């Protein structure tokens, strides 16, 4: 059959408190029976909602379109209080951690939202968890999930706001530092860590000190890329192009090495 692009707006109750969350689900239908096809997937999260972050952010959409062109199923969602998602942004980030986990559970449960609400999706063979800015901070919480998923997971962390974690999480920085340590100590999880040397929220020197203190460059599961002349917001097209080029190369390396990404 001819490939058909599927784009759906879906709503899922957060596992935290049932708050309705909005997500944009996209993939290419390649078989008449979608459940017979097998795809890799990405979940993409956005910057801080109170400052205008949502799943229509330029970086989110750029990354989403790239992976869709590569044949991935993409799930770009809105944290509580953003877009059409109900509720409001929390002080600590804990509800948002569970909002993120809700999306991962949706893929793990083959599109089942409830007994009478099932979204038909392909079988998922692997998931890349992608966080940008505030979303990257929330993404790190998924390393502490006790749930065993039926697919491999890897991470792409873009512009992690190291210097303002205290502000975004009401002084719960230690919890997120622990999440990062869990991710660093994982023996199987691959991570692409990207930051711009002109980031407005975290100086390049702060990133480099954190990388040095945690021996990140000595961790074979981590790839660290500093983008020259790139700010936090990727305000110019060429900045987005550089970002996609880095992700493309990471995928190629993983493919060559036999990774599941």
Q: Which pLDDT does position 256 carry in this prediction?
A: 58
Quick one: DSSP state of residue 49?
A: G
Q: Give the integer Cα–Cα distance in Å for 155 and 168.
A: 21
Retrieve residue 32's tokens: 């008449």
CA-based R_g, the chain, Å: 17
Nearest to 75 by CA among 48, 53, 108: 108
Q: Which residue has the tokens 């407005």?
A: 200
Q: Considering all CA atoms of the chain, what is the largest pairwise distance in Å, rounded to the nearest integer? A: 53
Which domains, from first to last, does the chain contain? 4-252 (3.40.50.1820)
**pTM exceeds 0.75, yes or no:** yes
Retrieve residue 244's tokens: 């996609």
Residue pLDDT tens, the chain, 261 long: 789 999 999 999 999 999 999 999 999 999 999 999 999 999 999 999 999 999 999 999 999 999 999 999 999 999 999 999 999 999 999 999 999 999 999 999 999 999 999 999 999 999 999 999 999 999 999 986 655 799 999 999 999 999 999 999 988 899 999 999 999 999 889 999 999 999 999 999 999 999 999 999 999 999 999 999 999 999 999 999 999 999 999 999 866 555 656
Q: Give the integer Cα–Cα distance in Å for 117 and 185.
A: 38
């Amino acid at each position: 059959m001819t490939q058909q692009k599927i784009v759906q707006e879906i709503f899922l109750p957060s596992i935290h408190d049932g708050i309705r969350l909005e997500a944009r689900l996209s993939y290419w239908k390649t078989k008449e029976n979608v459940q017979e096809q097998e795809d890799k997937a990405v979940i993409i999260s956005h910057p801080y909602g109170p400052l205008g972050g949502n799943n229509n952010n330029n970086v989110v959409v750029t990354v989403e379109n790239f992976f869709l062109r590569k044949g991935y199923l993409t799930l770009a969602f809105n944290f509580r209080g953003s877009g059409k998602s109900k509720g409001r942004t929390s002080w600590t980030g804990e509800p948002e951690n569970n909002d993120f986990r809700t999306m991962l559970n949706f893929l793990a449960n083959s599109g089942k939202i409830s007994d009478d609400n099932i979204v038909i999706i392909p079988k998922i063979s692997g998931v890349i968890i992608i966080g940008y800015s505030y979303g990257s901070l929330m993404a790190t919480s998924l390393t502490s999930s006790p749930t065993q998923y039926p697919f491999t997971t890897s991470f792409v962390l873009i512009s992690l706001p190291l210097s303002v974690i205290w502000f975004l999480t009401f002084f719960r920085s230690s919890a997120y530092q622990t999440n990062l340590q869990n991710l660093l100590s994982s023996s199987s999880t691959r991570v692409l860590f990207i930051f711009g040397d002109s980031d407005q929220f975290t100086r390049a020197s702060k990133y480099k000190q954190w990388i040095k203190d945690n021996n990140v460059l000595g961790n074979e599961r981590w790839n660290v890329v500093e983008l020259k002349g790139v700010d936090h917001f990727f305000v110019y097209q060429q900045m987005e192009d550089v970002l996609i080029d880095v992700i493309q190369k990471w995928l190629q390396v993983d493919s060559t090495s036999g990774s599941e990404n």
